[in-house]
Amino acid sequence: MADQPKPPAGAAVAGRGPWRLALGRLTRNRIALAFLGLFALIVVFALGAPLWAEHVADTGPNATHTLEKVEVDGEAREVVDPSGHPVGPLWFGADGKFFLGADGRLGRDEMVRLMYGGRTSLFIALTSALITTFLAVALGLLAGYYRGWTDTLISRALDVIWAFPVLLLAIALGIALAVGGLQIGPLTIPSGSIWIPILIIGGVLIPYTARPVRGQVLSLREKDFVEAAIAQGAGPMRVMLGELLPNLASTIIVFFTINVANNMLLESALSFLGVGVQPPDASWGTMIAAGNDLITSAPLLTILPGTMILLTVLSLNVIGDALRDALDPKAKIRLEAHAGLAEPEGTPV
Amino acid sequence: MGHFVVRRLAGAVAVLFTISVIVFLIFNVIPNSDPARRLAGRSPTPALIAGIEEEWGFDDPLPQQYLTTMGKIFSGDLVSYTTREDVDERIVEGIPATLSLCLGAAVIWLFFGILFGYLSAVHAGGKLDRVLTVVAVMGISIPVFWLAAILLNYLSYETGIFPSGGYVGLAEEPFEWATHLILPWISLAAIQIGFYSRVLRSSMLDVMNEDYVRTARAKGLSERRVMTHHVLRNSLIPIVTLLGLDVGVLLGGAILVEALFGLNGVGQYAFESLESLDLPPIMAVTLFGAFFVVLCNALADVAYAFLDPRIRLGGSAQ
């Protein structure tokens, strides 16, 4: 405070709210800002896919060029040679066509697929994290506010999902839905739609956010301001949305960030196993699976999509940690949120 | 004590039952597709589908179907319609490889997780702490199967330092067993090393502020003794809890790692079945996997209660 100019006499001292303070702490964290920048670059990279595809590469993500030739510095080269080996990175040798080479026997443009794959992977990770966070907060609020049998019901249901190994449950759902798709009432999701992995990933990770949220609601519920609101005649909805939810905001923001990171890893694993994003659509996970068949001759096809996942997840984890530091500097829980240890007293049933 | 054990095991049985119902619902009742068709695999004949429908009794009421399904899985006459193999037999055959992979990986991740976490906490804020933090966060962010693929390519195919996969029985050739498993162990352990070292670090930093640590220092114990005997010991509780929870993570990771290294364990069986859309094996692996995790956790809790009276007393007070 010493270096701040003294306010003129009589002027009110401007208070700084908790959000201002958090923003201040966040902007002082240079490492976090660097990773925020990196994440923004990755998003721009993915969003720019159609532009690059149309104006530079002149091809789509699923367009095959098996028997075609591409002109490199005035010399025609096969996109896929007779032994099935794809052309390597041409950089700007062909005006940006096959910038990173072709992706295998089908001769698709690796750069275009990497960008479109990023769109798919990011879209799935973000959407499923929204679903996870929304449902987890709703369940946590209901369980923590009503307590009693509502809490018992919700907590037991979460315990059962928790008891399943995440990947096994997701695989089981993935393969069961891979054949016929899903139909709930009037809503039909055909097999092969990316909404299937989105719903699966969004669903199986709910307990890992819902349990800590419930714990926090249970303790907030005892606070005086909640009692005051009830005494003023506020109904359950008003208390949950008007009083409890704002107090959960920092938890929600941090969990959302980390959910995006975890969901991206889960999507890539499911897609790698063939029960996530379905071919010919690209996602970083399916690209690793495809590239792995050629890893000895064209390791770049495996390295690139994996590096993209690593960088994205890494930046989200760093940002999530920094957000937690900024929003709740006294919080003891750091990376433990990954395993749902945020509620240490809860014995896993 | 007996009371606690009974209550805990009864809880576990209830969860096991619910899990079996969910597995049944996932595979037999998901709407908009014919379960017999799904069980039959990628290219079924109408006769096969009709046969499966008859065998599994898909026209029966649901509770009856549930009993039929569980009966098939547990009595050992669950058969893959794609390969005609006995599913439970294949799973039992795969257990040694999967167990070797999972136990070895757990030992490695515990050792390095505790080592890195300890060093990080002792040097909190220093250079070593920062380097280890970067390593840990990197580790947490790596896709397991990608790491496995990269290790396999550069340390095996290209340089031939390690064998390129396969499983050798421990009893036959212990040395070969270990060399074949080193890369799979590292792949499976990497994420958890990062994770455990972070958990241990923050747990140790908490314990360091406790009064008994100050007392230990005040009575003149060496710093090393304070750290290992007083701080580290008391900080290991969350690590033990985590390990119980992570049995499931191990099983999931085993599918990915075994698929890449061709270890011929349960995980690889699951992977191959996924590729051919062969449902019965997936059904059995999911059910047994979840059962295994629940039982491990129940046993861990009971063992815990033996060691720490606070847990069983706190538990029965509820």
pLDDT digits (tens, 9 = 90+) for A90-106: 888 878 888 898 888 88
| pLDDT average, residue stretch A43-62 | 92
pLDDT value of position A164: 87
Q: Which residue of B has its CA nearest to A31?
A: B134
pLDDT band (50, 70, 90) for residue B315? very low
Residue B63 class from Cβ within 10 Å (0-12 exposed, 13-18 middle, 19+ buried)? exposed
Q: Which tokens in the block code for residue B177?
A: 């067993």
pLDDT value of position B80: 86
A109: helix, strand or coil: strand
Q: Is the pLDDT of residue A196 over 80?
A: yes
Same domain, A239 and A206: yes
pLDDT value of position B288: 92
Same domain, A102 and A202: no
Q: Is the pLDDT of residue A40 over 80?
A: yes
Residue A95: domain span: 51-106
Q: Which of A103-112, A165-174, B52-61 has the lowest mean pLDDT?
A: B52-61
Q: Which tokens in the block code for residue A290?
A: 């495809």
Residues of A in contact with B155 (CB under 8 A): none
Nearest by CB to residue A335, choosing from B11, B198, B290, is B198
Q: Which residue of A has its CA nearest to B157?
A: A296
| Interface confidence (ipTM) of the complex | 0.89
Same domain, A287 and A221: yes
Residue A260 included in any domain: yes
Same domain, A98 and A119: no
Residue A215 included in any domain: yes
pLDDT band (50, 70, 90) for residue B314? low
Query: Cβ–Cβ of A306/B143 closer than 8 Å?
Result: yes
Domain count, chain A: 2
Q: Is the pLDDT of residue B119 over 90?
A: yes
A234: helix, strand or coil: coil
State the nearest Cα–Cα gap between B28 and chain A, in angstroms.
Answer: 9
State the nearest Cα–Cα gap between A70 and chain B, in angstroms.
Answer: 29
B interface mutation test: which of A158, A183, A292, A312 has the most B CBs within 10 A? Answer: A292
State the nearest Cα–Cα gap between A6 and chain B, in angstroms.
Answer: 34
Nearest to A176 by CA among A277, A279, A275, A289: A275
Q: Which residue of A has its CA nearest to B43?
A: A179
Quote the percentage of chain A above a pLDDT of 90. 53
Per-residue pLDDT of B50-88, as tens digits, reads: 888 888 888 788 888 899 889 888 888 888 888 888 999
* CATH of residue A308: 1.10.3720.10
pLDDT value of position B276: 83
Q: Is the pLDDT of residue A195 over 80?
A: yes
Same domain, A88 and A131: no
Nearest by CB to residue B23, choosing from A172, A177, A178, is A172
| pLDDT average, residue stretch A23-31 | 87
| Residue pairs spanning A and B at CB distance below 8 A | 189
Distance CA B235, CA B120 (A): 13
Distance CA A165, CA A69 (A): 48
| pLDDT average, residue stretch A26-53 | 93
Query: Cβ–Cβ of B252/A265 closer than 8 Å?
Result: no
Nearest by CB to residue B277, choosing from A164, A165, A179, is A179
Residue A337 included in any domain: no
Residue A85 included in any domain: yes
Query: Cβ–Cβ of A339/B246 closer than 8 Å?
Result: yes
Same domain, A171 and A270: yes
Q: Which residue of B has its CA nearest to A294?
A: B153
CA angle B279, B281, B282 (to 5 degrees): 65
- Share the mean pLDDT of chain A: 86
Predicted structure pTM score: 0.89
Q: Higher model confidence: residue B305 or residue B255?
A: B255
Same domain, A160 and A95: no
Query: Cβ–Cβ of A347/B157 closer than 8 Å?
Result: no
State the nearest Cα–Cα gap between B141 and chain A, in angstroms.
Answer: 5
Q: Is the pLDDT of residue A334 over 70?
A: no
Bridge-partner residues for A176, per DSSP? none
**What is the identity of the amino acid at B70?**
M
Residue A344 included in any domain: no
Per-residue pLDDT of B206-243, as tens digits, reads: 888 889 999 999 999 998 899 988 898 888 877 877 88
